[in-house]
Copies of this chain bind each other. A is one copy, B any other.
């Protein structure tokens, strides 16, 4: 059996940081480099592989946008303002000029929407699937980055937007959920294909949130990451988790999808910790950004694990808790 990605990272890659504090022990969404007396550089890298992170028949422009947006989502969670990105692309023969043109058009639209330029990269052929590696750079005032490791017992657990649409959208993309209305299927699919990084909210939470990350591996797994790095436990009330109209309909029809929604990946919403005293500030920041937020539970001083309870006092058993990557 191969080690899981987390074990690989801890055992093999963490020593490669040579104890450099900028790496944050490879336990955060991004690295933090001091570049001047005033500012720090926040750097994140995410790779996407066809058949793993998207489907080869997805619209090329959407694949491009998802690749960029997953990186912008990491910067958003840290509170950083993006300044540009580097693209390495390994292109199979089947990716014709026509598909590449559509791919570039997607990047162009998002570059304009988020104001981020391509700054460099590499392009190579591959005998394998389309593989896209993006490294995104952002800046913020020195010492203000919102880490994964800052959650404290008693902090509220918050999420932005709605949870599970990405995972349910993947089911739609693979031909499932045909028993819900076309417009709801389309909404879920769109969430899977083109996530919405929460940059404005992330920046508004600097100085308010104790800890934050974006949800890419699934709510439960990513909350587990905050617990592990912060040394706290977490209780989630499943009934407080915000679901979209489409997700609610899918869950009504297939109750087992509730677990899929909270453990599946690809939400790219913000997950953050803030003290109860900051509730009004959080709500005000969210309102100012036009983003909804929901309080879904609380961190506690117990063991670093995540418990998901329901209204009846029951505890959900979760076999699969999410994807893993660093």
Interface residues of chain A, those whose CB is within 8 Å of chain B, are 2-3, 5, 8-9, 12-13, 15-20, 22-24, 26, 30-31, 33, 35-37, 39, 41, 43-49, 51-53, 83-84, 86-90, 93, 96-97, 100-101, 103-104, 107-108, 111-112, 117-129, 131, 133, 135, 137, 325-326
Contacts and interface: CB of A to CB of B under 8 A. Distances in A.
Given A16-B107, A111-B18, A118-B17, A49 B126 contact: yes
A133 B17 CA distance: 17
B47 A90 contact: yes
B120 A45 contact: yes
A96 B24 CA distance: 27
A9 B19 CA distance: 37
Contacts of A16: 104, 107-108, 111, 117-118
Contacts of A84: 20, 22-23, 31, 33
B17 A119 contact: yes
Nearest to A46: B122
A5 to B, nearest CB: 5
Contacts of A52: 124-127
A115 B306 CA distance: 39
The 10 A-B residue pairs with the shortest CB-CB distance, nearest first, are A128-B128, A133-B133, A16-B118, A20-B117, A36-B36, A12-B104, A47-B88, A135-B135, A88-B133, A31-B119
Contacts of A39: 35-36
A220 B43 CA distance: 35
Given A13-B123, A26-B118, A48-B124, 7 more contacts: A13-B87, A26-B121, A30-B120, A36-B36, A43-B119, A43-B137, A45-B133
Interface majority SS on A: helix, strand, loop or mixed? mixed
A104 B33 CA distance: 23
Contacts of A44: 120
Contact of A123 (B18, B122, B325): B325
A22 B41 CA distance: 15
A107 to B, nearest CB: 5
Given A16-B111, A128-B126, A120 B47 contact: no
Contacts of A15: 104, 108
Contact of A13 (B3, B9, B93, B118): B118
Nearest to A5: B123
B88 A122 contact: no
A86 B31 contact: yes
Nearest to A7: B97
Given A8-B100, A12-B101, A53 B124 contact: yes
A35 B138 CA distance: 11
B117 A2 contact: no
